[in-house]
Amino acid sequence: MSVRKVAAEAAGPGLAINVGNTRVALGVFGPNGLLGTFRLASRIDRSADEVQGLVTPFLEPFAPLLDGAWCGVASVVPARTPRYQALARSWTGSEPYLVRGDRAPGLFVDVPDPAAVGGDRIANAAAAGEWSSLPCIVVDLGTATHLEVVTSGPTFIGGVIAPGVSTAAEALFTGTARLAAVELEMPEHVLGRTTRECLQSGIFHGAVAQIEGLVRAVRKELVEQGYAGSGRQAASGRASAEKASSERAPSARAAKGRPAKAASAPKGRSGQAVSVLTTGGLAPVFAPESSLLRRVVPELTLQGIAILARRAALEAAATRGR
């Protein structure tokens, strides 16, 4: 197969898999974007055959499209990673790219130990570089609540990890004798009149306050450290940021078949205002209640896996052509 053909296939269809603590998400991508998704519970006791049986009805219609396609896996559960790498390999015939902080094509990872950063967070950061202006805070609301901070480059510089809303609520219910579980929904008033209303208010409004507080604190720190501007400073910084963006190494999307270059990490500073992207299973619940979380990208992590896997495939194609 020619290098040109390999590069064309790398930019085309593929399979992205995100292995989380609670659920596993699969996404099939076509040349123009995400075609379909499927989710299953993330259980350690499932055999490879069981997993294949569960995903086959979803993947089978895409089988002709996936033959020879790229594939990528992000996993925060090491014990389950090989199972889903094998799954991706069996449907595409390609070696899956494993999302890692120390090998993230087109993304600078400016933290003390890049390899220790979860694959889902690296995928979110990569997606932010394509889906948003920078600097950007990604708010991922799932089993854990975590924020990824991405500055110009794009450069992942760290973030925040906190217990997820449901995780914290379950700990409260299991650790107390007289507090029964309640459904996660916004109560009519912050001031609860019954124990049930008090719990719902504390869980829901407490979560919104925590998320907004973290976003504001991180945004303030980015401005103080020179990664971002605010008000007049942000407006005056846009021109220089756009100039820097045009001079930086092209992404796989802009490179049109060439792998992204990453010669040296930029400082990641600009005069731009901070943007916010929200994703995760609980994003539809909380985003409508906060003016800070209005831009929701439901499958941002899968999008990031796809971006990185495509870039890795393009790099492999370029290497074969040398």
Vertex 307 angle, CA 142 and 80, to 5°: 50
Beta-ladder partners of 162: 145
pLDDT tens digit sequence for 49-67: 999 999 999 999 999 999 9
Per the domain annotation, does 56 fall within a domain?
A: no
**Domain for residue 188, yes or no?**
yes
Interhelix angle 48-59/81-92, nearest 10 degrees = 40
120 is catalytic: yes
Was 32 annotated as part of a binding site?
no
22 is in an annotated binding site: yes
119 is in an annotated binding site: yes
Print the domain residue range for 157.
124-298
CATH (domain of 288): 3.30.420.40
pLDDT of residue 44: 75
Flag whether 184 is in a domain: yes
Q: Which residue out of 67, 102, 113, 120 is catalytically annotated? A: 120
- Can you give the pLDDT at residue 253? 38
Confidence band of 138 (pLDDT split at 50, 70, 90): very high
User: Is 19 annotated as ligand-binding?
Assistant: yes
Residue 145 vs residues 8, 161, 166, 210, 283: alpha-carbon distances, Å: 37, 6, 10, 10, 10
Considering the domain boundaries, does residue 115 fall inside one?
A: no
Residue 247 covered by a domain: yes
In a domain, 271, yes or no: yes
Q: What are phi and psi of 81, to 5 degrees?
A: -60, -50
Number of domains in the chain: 1
Is residue 287 a part of any domain in this protein?
yes
Look over the chain and give the mean of its residue pLDDT values, rounded to a whole number.
85
236-294, pLDDT tens digit by residue? Answer: 444 444 444 444 333 433 333 333 433 344 455 666 899 999 999 999 999 999 999 98
Instruction: Please write the tens of the pLDDT for every residue from 34-48.
Output: 999 999 998 877 888
Asked whether residue 208 is domain-assigned, the answer is yes
**In 113-192, alpha helices (H):** 119-131, 165-174
Has 151 been labeled as part of a binding site? no
The verdict on whether residue 18 carries a ligand-binding annotation is yes
